[in-house]
Amino acid sequence: MTTPTAAGSGYSEAAKAFPLEFGLDTFGDRGADEQGRPLSHAQTIRDVVEQGVLADQVGVDVFSIGEHHTEDFPMPAGDVVLGAIAARTERIRLGSAVTVLSSDDPVRVFQRYSTLHALSGGRAEVVLGRGSSTESFPLFGYDLADYDVLFDEKARLFAQIRNGGPITWEGTTRAALTDQDIVPFTENGPLPTWIGVGGNPQSVLRAAKLDFPLLLAVIGGNPLRFKPFTQLYRGVRADIGRPQLPIGLHTPGHIAATDEEAFEQFIPRMQEMMRRLVPSRGFRVPTIEQFRNEVGSSGALYVGSPETVARKIAANLPQLDATRFNLKFAMPQMPQREIMEAIELYGTKVVPRVRELIAEQEGIGL
């Protein structure tokens, strides 16, 4: 069996050289036992290790952990957890989803993930983000008034560090560097690094100009509303005379044997999670009917049976010129059994079916 590339209908010429890749993202959602009793934070972290090991076994390409600092998402040190997964796996790539660079130090982020890169035999990557969840800012003493300048300066510094060589840099968000080596050096080229973008065109421009692949976080509404962002990214890369880079999607979802089973396992827990976020985020909690619309063909949630989810992925990836799909799986209070079943179905049923569907669309034989 050959792995189809993105060549053909729906994709731009720029995307044709990139392989299709399928990942799983987690925020370390605090689990529950079969009676609905919350697990400890320690058990939740141990369960994430098992999830990563299973993802490797069922053929998922990438397993990523997003930084969070809350009771529902006790995952402040994802790189440490990824190190434990690296020790028990051989193939799967391991990354962040995302690292909140604005409230971290670019030097230390690079050092942590270049160390993971070494330990895993070159399988580490990092996704840098501004932080749609901002709990890390007061925790580490940063002012949200500096939200934009923090990320802009630190992303530019990280780009320099990733390119290698002694670093000379001066800004307003950390101490200056003069002819400074940042170790450990990576083997076989720069540390793979993406920029995660929610809905900000300036972030798209920054990713394009700093030579970072683009990962779009599509968590609500019609995914195709992000098409102008992918077009902007491709256009800027062409305008500045730089080679095109991959575009990916990060989006929530859940897989079970049937559509209704997946909905019942996932949506009530997502609704409750959003209800708890209302005081800090200020949004309205969607109704069950609104969630059903999001699960439908024009919504952002990939919830259903393997066939349903696969068809939705195969329909949207080419339209957004994206060759990576990262499913943000699990929800707080979900038992490990349901999570592991979803991971197995994703790797053994959904991913092969998406490859098959896109191969059919492109007229490529498997």
Terminal Cα-to-Cα distance of the chain (whole angstroms): 5
pLDDT of residue 291: 96
CA–CA dist 94, 96 (Å, integer): 7
Per-residue pLDDT of the chain (366 residues; tens, 9 = 90+): 333 444 445 899 889 889 999 999 999 999 999 999 999 999 999 999 999 999 999 999 999 999 999 999 999 999 999 999 999 999 999 999 999 999 999 999 999 999 999 999 999 999 999 977 889 999 999 999 999 999 999 999 999 999 999 999 999 999 999 999 999 999 989 999 999 999 899 999 999 999 999 999 999 999 999 999 999 999 999 999 999 999 999 999 999 999 999 999 999 999 999 998 887 777 789 999 999 999 999 999 999 999 999 999 999 999 999 999 999 999 999 999 999 999 999 999 999 999 999 988 864 433
CA–CA dist 16, 231 (Å, integer): 15
CA–CA dist 245, 14 (Å, integer): 8
CA–CA dist 274, 251 (Å, integer): 16
What sign for the dihedral angle of Cα 347, 350, 354, 356? positive
pLDDT of residue 39: 98
Q: Nearest CA to 227 among 320, 298, 293?
A: 320
pLDDT of residue 225: 96
CA–CA dist 334, 201 (Å, integer): 34
Long-range CB contacts for residues 136-145, cutoff 8 Å, separation at least 24: 136/67, 136/69, 136/100, 136/102, 136/103, 136/104, 137/102, 137/103, 139/69, 139/103, 140/103, 140/104, 142/102, 142/103
pLDDT of residue 43: 98
Per-domain boundaries in the chain: 21-305+320-338
CA–CA dist 140, 199 (Å, integer): 25
**Cβ–Cβ < 8 Å for 131, 96:** no
- Assigned fold of 21-305+320-338: TIM Barrel (3.20.20)
pLDDT of residue 70: 94
pLDDT of residue 362: 66
Q: Where are the beta strands (DSSP E) in 33-180?
A: 62-65, 93-96, 99-100, 126-129, 167-169, 177-180
**Cβ–Cβ < 8 Å for 248, 194:** yes
- Kindly report whether the global pTM for this prediction surpasses the value 0.85: yes
CA–CA dist 205, 230 (Å, integer): 10
Q: Is 278 exposed, middle or buried (0-12, 13-18, 19+ CB in 10 A)?
A: exposed
pLDDT of residue 7: 42
**Cβ–Cβ < 8 Å for 94, 159:** no
